[in-house]
A and B are shown apart, each in its own frame.
Chain A
Amino acid sequence: MATKLPKVPVVIVGMGWAGGIVASELTKAGVQVVGLERGKDRNTSDYLMGHDELRYQHREELMQDLSKETITHRNNEEMRSLPMRDYGTFVVGDGVGGAGSHWNGQTYRFLPYDFEIKTLTDEKYGPNKLKPEYTIQDWGITYDEMEPYYDTFEKMAGISGETVELYGKRTNPYPTGPMLKTPIMEMFEKATADLGYAP
């Protein structure tokens, strides 16, 4: 006999970055949300064991158990689509956090150019540069419209970085300063600066 739980106005399937942010914003606005996620819950103590390279890097313990379910793939319609039986370069996250629980944590903002790639390519290189068979187009939103949300996200996640003049304009600097520089990094920076490269 199934237990019937009280109804809620919003159910979100998937508690990764996307589902998590939507749930967070809705609950802050006073809306009740149930979030559904396959796999186990996680907390800080789970990550204390993360230094076991064989277990996490090679045997991919954070990832989905493919024996239960996997994707199939093929490169084109002539091929037979076959199951991904074992992990290669593409790994599927699992549990609360989704892919966010094993992400690399690099959160560069897209450049203003990326949002209007068709318009700005035509502007810079002329209207005939992109052949007719190219399907690229503008996103429909601009970097300037996105900027306040980048700002909010970076503050929420405490993103670390330094302002680079060449990139899109920033309302605020990164909430956390840049990473410490190793001697090798400093050597690299000096070499590229001496060669006249920027940033």
Chain B
Amino acid sequence: MADQENKSGVKKGTTRRDFLKNSGLTVGGVVLGGALGSLLGGRAEVGNEEVTPAPKPTANPAEALTFFTPPQYQLTQAAAERIYPKDDNGPGAMELNAAIYIDHQLASPWGINAKEYMAGPFYEAEETQGSQIRILRKDLFLLGLKALDSYSNEQFDSKFTGLAPEDQDAVLTAFSDGTAPDISGVKSPIFFSLLRTLTIEGVYADPVYGGNKNMEGWAMRKYPGSRMAYIQEIQKEDFVKLEPQGLNSHMGH
């Protein structure tokens, strides 16, 4: 199956070859080496078997996807990074693993609205009557990701991750102000709000939930993290700098 190319030379759709190549992708997009790589046209040395060493498995076993597919993860990562970018203050959402946090949250009972009232009938609500959305949060999020790509393709002839940051911002702004079309009957600002809230949570929640990597989100704000009490510090005149600590420091087991 030949690659389909549009006028601007950007490939649309995936071929079987792309799938085989990409199936070796790790979460971070790095292709696993070794025998698989050489099968697909990498360095296949006859006799002298040169094996590209596989990347070291990340130290944190919880840094793996439990909900997203790699493309969904990469799109979420890219969008989150635009909302909370790396700058002079420190790392952005990508480095802080906000997308891992989002992945784990959508996989949790909260992702399927487990403790919300989901029985019908559903009606249009006034502003003051709260959310009356019938689709599950995890589904709204995935549909929203698709919508980001649709809108990007329409406006810029590329999927979201292929866009320059300024164009990504333009797409996200359209979702945030409602210019982008509804997502399965849900106004686009609602999806954007969900994405934004999850991103901020992903940067600042306790690291046990997968984000706020190495508590660097907290460190940037001089936030001391989770502490049982501040009895020693509360009456000090001067600012007391406390290194951040997570729930594992006092609620480990």
Query: Which A positions have Cβ atoms within 8 angstroms of B?
Result: 48-49, 51-54, 58-60, 65-67, 69-70, 73-75, 79-80, 82-86, 88, 180-183
Contacts and interface: CB of A to CB of B under 8 A. Distances in A.
Contact of B206 (A49, A53, A69): A53
Q: Which of B130, B131, B251 has the most CB of A within 10 A?
A: B130
B116 A66 contact: yes
B126 A75 contact: yes
A38 to B, nearest CB: 15
B117 A84 contact: yes
Contact of A182 (B114, B116, B234): B234
A183 to B, nearest CB: 5
Nearest to A75: B128
B235 A86 contact: no
Interface string B114-132: 1111110001011011111
B117 A85 contact: yes
Given A54-B201, A180-B235, A84 B114 contact: no
A144 B237 CA distance: 42
Contacts of B247: 51-52
A80 B251 contact: no
B40 to A, nearest CB: 42
B226 interface: yes
A95 to B, nearest CB: 14
A179 to B, nearest CB: 10
Contacts of B132: 82-83, 85
Contacts of A73: 129
A79 B126 contact: yes
B130 A86 contact: yes
A66 B125 contact: no
Nearest to A80: B123
Contact of B129 (A59, A79, A180): A79
B117 A66 contact: yes
B206 A67 contact: no
Contacts of A53: 205-206, 226
A65 B113 CA distance: 11
Given A65-B115, A67-B116, A82-B123, A54 B129 contact: no
Given A67-B113, A83-B119, 10 more contacts: A48-B251, A49-B251, A59-B110, A66-B115, A67-B115, A75-B126, A82-B125, A84-B117, A86-B131, A183-B235
Contacts of A82: 123, 125, 129-130, 132
Nearest to B234: A182
Contact of B235 (A48, A52, A182): A182
B84 interface: no
Nearest to B109: A59
Contacts of B126: 74-75, 79
Contact of B236 (A54, A66, A74, A183): A183
Interface string B127-146: 01111110000000000000
Contacts of A83: 117, 119, 132
A41 to B, nearest CB: 20
A88 B116 CA distance: 12
Nearest to A61: B115
A67 B237 contact: no
23 contacts: A53-B206, A54-B206, A54-B209, A66-B116, A67-B115, A67-B116, A67-B118, A74-B126, A74-B129, A75-B128, A79-B129, A82-B123, A82-B129, A84-B130, A85-B116, A85-B131, A85-B133, A86-B113, A86-B130, A180-B234, A180-B235, A181-B235, A182-B235
